């Protein structure tokens, strides 16, 4: 049986709605995968940034004081940037990836609404086919047959068909009313679906831009600080430190050093000699004094002996 223009129009409408839902589901699924991949790549970049900061800190330990200080500050700033990158990853997951993931349920509900409308439209077509079969059994009632494709005129129909035809007409009218109601509900639901889809994608993309802007603003501030650390490195101080570490003392400098050491040794010897002499003198003077005292004692003894002899002589003379 050939379809009437209204049935073909409804069928085309269903196909159009079904295609819109399928494309929305497909594209939002692709966007979800891509944004999730972007978030994962950002997380990997965060990890690489932490590794870079550690490598810079290790390198700084082997350099001069000025370069060490500058590179250490630079590394700490790079590490701080990765903290903001971690916040970026968390916000992307919450404000971009998660809403896109949940959008699959929205498409699922839209497909369910479409299926309900298709079911109602299918029932109407079945009832219409039943009525056509009933009319074929009673071809004399052309007036009723002419009204099959116009459900709004069923009440005005003066058909005097059989009971089966009356029941078919009643079922067709009821199915037509249900299909019309379902079509209107589907149109409203699809209108809301399209409106919500546009609002959602605008919000998701706006949140993505905001998250990226916040991160890059903070990163720009910290990269400026990192640049200042590099500008504060004094090349000449580190070169001088390197030269002092690399070069041995020069020949004149070594000679001056030897002379200075020699003078120090001589001065030490000169200071030690008088002390030795004083020590030897101090030991010799008591020895001479002892010898003098012994001589005086001997002379005294001799004088005493002489006096005793003289005393004896005088005694004998008496």
Are 239 and 312 found together in one domain? no
* 232, 70 Cβ separation under 8 angstroms: yes
* 126, 140 Cβ separation under 8 angstroms: no
Look at residue 136 and give its three-state secondary structure: helix
Distance (Å, whole) CA 144 – CA 148: 7
The count of domains in the chain is 2
What pLDDT is stored for residue 290 in this prediction?
55
Are 79 and 216 found together in one domain? yes
Dihedral sign for Cα atoms in the order 162, 163, 169, 172: negative
Residue position matching structure tokens 């000169």: 270
Out of 244, 270, 292, a domain closes at 244
Distance (Å, whole) CA 137 – CA 152: 24
Are 263 and 232 found together in one domain? no
**DSSP classification of residue 2:** P
Are 291 and 217 found together in one domain? no
Range of the domain at 255: 248-317
Are 297 and 179 found together in one domain? no
Are 264 and 193 found together in one domain? no
What tokens appear for 233 in the block?
């490195």
* CATH number of the domain to which 61 belongs: 1.20.1270.60
Out of 227, 244, 261, a domain closes at 244
Are 257 and 214 found together in one domain? no
What pLDDT is stored for residue 278 in this prediction?
43
Tally of CA atoms within 13 A in the half-sphere of 193 that contains its CB: 26
What pLDDT is stored for residue 148 in this prediction?
45
Are 230 and 276 found together in one domain? no
Are 184 and 252 found together in one domain? no
Dihedral sign for Cα atoms in the order 58, 61, 62, 64: positive
What pLDDT is stored for residue 237 in this prediction?
85
Q: What is the pLDDT along the chain (318 residues), one digit of tens a residue?
A: 556 677 777 778 888 888 988 999 999 999 999 999 999 999 999 999 999 999 999 999 988 889 999 999 999 999 999 999 999 999 999 999 999 998 888 888 888 877 877 777 766 666 666 666 666 666 555 454 444 445 444 444 444 455 666 666 676 667 667 667 777 877 888 888 889 999 999 999 999 999 999 999 999 999 999 999 999 988 888 788 888 888 766 655 555 666 666 666 555 555 555 544 444 444 444 555 555 666 666 666 666 666 666 665 565 444
Are 161 and 287 found together in one domain? no
Count the Cβ atoms, other than its own, within 10 Å of residue 13.
16
Look at residue 69 and give its three-state secondary structure: helix
| Percent helix, strand and coil across the chain, each to the nearest 5 | 90, 0, 10
What pLDDT is stored for residue 294 in this prediction?
61
Out of 202, 229, 244, a domain closes at 244
What pLDDT is stored for residue 241 in this prediction?
82
What tokens appear for 164 in the block?
């089966």
Are 230 and 263 found together in one domain? no
Are 71 and 142 found together in one domain? yes
């Amino acid at each position: 049986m050939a379809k009437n223009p209204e049935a073909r129009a409804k069928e085309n409408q269903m196909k159009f709605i079904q295609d819109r839902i399928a494309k929305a589901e497909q594209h939002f699924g692709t966007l979800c995968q891509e944004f999730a991949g972007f978030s994962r790549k950002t997380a990997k970049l965060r990890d690489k940034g932490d590794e870079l900061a550690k490598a810079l800190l290790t390198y700084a330990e082997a350099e001069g004081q000025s370069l060490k200080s500058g590179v250490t500050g630079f590394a700490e700033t790079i590490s701080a940037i990765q903290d903001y990158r971690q916040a970026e990853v968390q916000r992307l997951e919450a404000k971009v990836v998660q809403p896109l993931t949940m959008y699959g349920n929205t498409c699922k509900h839209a497909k369910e609404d479409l299926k309900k409308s298709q079911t109602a439209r299918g029932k109407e077509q079945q009832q219409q086919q039943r009525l056509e079969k009933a009319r074929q059994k009673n071809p004399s009632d052309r007036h009723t047959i002419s009204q099959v494709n116009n459900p709004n005129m069923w009440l005005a129909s003066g058909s005097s068909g059989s009971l089966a035809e009356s029941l078919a007409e009643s079922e067709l009218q009821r199915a037509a009313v249900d299909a019309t109601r379902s079509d209107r509900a589907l149109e409203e639901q699809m209108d809301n679906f399209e409106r919500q889809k546009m609002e959602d994608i605008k919000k998701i993309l706006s949140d993505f831009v905001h998250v990226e802007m916040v991160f890059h603003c903070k990163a720009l501030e910290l990269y400026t600080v990192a640049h200042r650390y590099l500008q504060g490195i004094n090349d000449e101080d580190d070169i001088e430190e390197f030269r002092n570490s690399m070069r041995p003392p020069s020949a004149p400098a070594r000679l001056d050093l030897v002379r200075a050491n020699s003078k120090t040794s001589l001065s030490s010897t000169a200071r030690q000699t008088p002390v030795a002499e004083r020590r030897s003198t101090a030991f010799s003077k008591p020895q001479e004094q002892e010898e003098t005292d012994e001589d005086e004692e001997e002379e005294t003894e001799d004088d005493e002996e002489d006096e005793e002899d003289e005393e004896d002589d005088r005694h004998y003379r008496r």
